[in-house]
Amino acid sequence: MNAHHGTPGIIVLPEGGYRRARAEITSWPEYAPTPLHALDMPGVASVHFKDESQRFGLRSFKALGGAYAVGRLLGHELARRGTANNATSAALESGQYAHATDQITVTCATDGNHGRSVAWGAQRFGCRCVIFVHENVSQGRRNAIARFGAEVREVPGNYDDSVRAAQRAADDNGWFVISDTSYPGYTEPPRDVMQGYRLMAQEAFSQIPAPPSHVFVPGGVGGVAAAVSVQARRDAPGARIIVVEPEAAACLLESAAAGEMRAVTGDLDTIMAGLACGEPSLLAWQELERGAFAFMAVPDEAVPAAMRHLAARGVEAGESGVAGWIALESALADPAAREGLGLGADSRVLIFGTEGATDPDLYSRLTSAPAAAQP
Ligand SMILES: Cc1ncc(COP(=O)(O)O)c(C=O)c1O
């Protein structure tokens, strides 16, 4: 339980920035809201599952953040260089400024989905792109990034080591980091990334028949949970935000327990690859330290069964996408957790299913017969 829930704090994501992000992303030709499914779960009044498996064909909500932030960066850079004052994404996509943008390189670290979004944005808007991955990022995820024309570089260590490698490469080469995590002295692209994520939350709050009482959202560095928390303050006041991490990488839970930002170290090895982050994002933490109602950690062993359960109901949910579902099931099975969260027969639950089959081979292995369901 978050002892500081509901205390006043700073505004991390100003409304003007969100209006800009929403106007931009909804103007992209391929834009369409993703579906919200009603699912059965005994013990609560309703469960709705926001299904990000088809977002812009990238199969995760991350498509909303990184690609948008690449467009913003290029717009700023073209203005700073005196090339164009208000380069729209349509103008960038048309190749009008290709002579300038192809001199610009964006970079980031990723465990899969964010890098795919940045690579997609770079390809659409016409700049170069180098993506850093750590040793445990699957070949399927690397290939998906490379398909957008990005160079993929492997570095030793875990996700947090790859974040530092991307920053070092940017410093050495004059590249631009488009990270989904923020740290002291580096906040603006991640703020744009999180503003993009808010669109997913706003869609869900407008699709759901009645405002949710409980919202389960996965946590990696905390960016998407913070974006949901900010949007809930506007669209679903009073909803309890529950942030869900893998047991092996529960840095937000550790931070909440300590009352200050804390890192967890080690190889952060979890099947929930998108959540394998050991260090909270500074901006995300500034929101979640007061916006989150509770933090939960869930075990890897529960992932295949949850994926199969949802697949059997026609919902494609990848390894990180089932974290919220697992958390709800396990909280309902535990009287103390149920009581602490206030979950009961009148609860209306919203779960963010943040990815589909982002690694199709792994997805089909995990959702096939239980005997074969090993990573
Ligand atoms: C599918 C999926 N869900 C959730 C997250 C967590 O997002 P954040 O790192 O912003 O907390 C990620 C991060 O990569 C992800 O890929």
Residues 109-128: what's their mean pLDDT?
Answer: 97
HSE-CB at 88 with a 13 A cutoff on CA atoms is 8
Residues 354-362: what's their mean pLDDT?
Answer: 96
Sign, CA torsion 304/310/312/317: negative
Ligand 1 atom 3: residue of nearest CA: 354
- 3-state per-residue secondary structure call for 21-40: HHHHHHHCCCCCCCCEEEEC
CA–CA distance, 323 with 326 (Å, rounded to integer):
5
Paired tokens of 348: 């209306």
CB neighbourhood size of 236 (10 A): 22
Q: Is the pLDDT of residue 222 over 80?
A: yes
Q: Please pick, among 50, 51, 111, 359, the residue that the annotation labels catalytic.
A: 111
Residues 118-129: what's their mean pLDDT?
Answer: 98
Q: Are strands 46-51 and 36-39 parallel, antiparallel or unpaired?
A: antiparallel
Say if CB 285 and CB 261 are below 8 A apart. yes
CA–CA distance, 48 with 210 (Å, rounded to integer):
10
Is 111 among the residues known to form the active site? yes
| pLDDT-based confidence at residue 369 (cuts at 50, 70, 90) | low
CA–CA distance, 47 with 350 (Å, rounded to integer):
6
Q: Coil, strand or helix: which one is 13?
A: coil
Residues 83-107: what's their mean pLDDT?
Answer: 95
Q: Could you tell me the distance, in angstroms and rounded to a whole number, from the CA of residue 5 to the centre of ligand 1?
A: 22
Q: Please pick, among 50, 51, 62, 180, the residue that the annotation labels catalytic.
A: 62
Q: Is the pLDDT of residue 371 over 80?
A: no
pLDDT at 86: 86
- The CATH class given to the 66-179 domain equals alpha beta
Domain positions in the chain are 15-61+190-372, 66-179
Q: Could you tell me the distance, in angstroms and rounded to a whole number, from the CA of residue 46 to the centre of ligand 1?
A: 25
Architecture of 15-61+190-372 per CATH?
Answer: 3-Layer(aba) Sandwich (3.40)
DSSP structure class, residue 60 = B
Ligand 1 atom, smallest distance to 217 CA: 4
Q: Could you tell me the distance, in angstroms and rounded to a whole number, from the CA of residue 84 to the centre of ligand 1?
A: 33
Do 15-61+190-372 and 66-179 agree at the fold level?
Answer: yes
pLDDT at 370: 63
Q: Is the pLDDT of residue 359 over 80?
A: yes
Ligand 1 atom 13: residue of nearest CA: 274
Is 359 among the residues known to form the active site? no
* pLDDT tens sequence across 157-216: 999 899 999 999 999 999 999 999 999 999 999 999 999 999 999 999 999 999 999 999
pLDDT at 266: 85
Q: Is the pLDDT of residue 241 over 50?
A: yes
Ligand 1 atom, smallest distance to 218 CA: 4
Q: Is the pLDDT of residue 375 over 60?
A: no
pLDDT at 110: 96
Ligand 1 atom, smallest distance to 113 CA: 16
CA–CA distance, 179 with 92 (Å, rounded to integer):
21
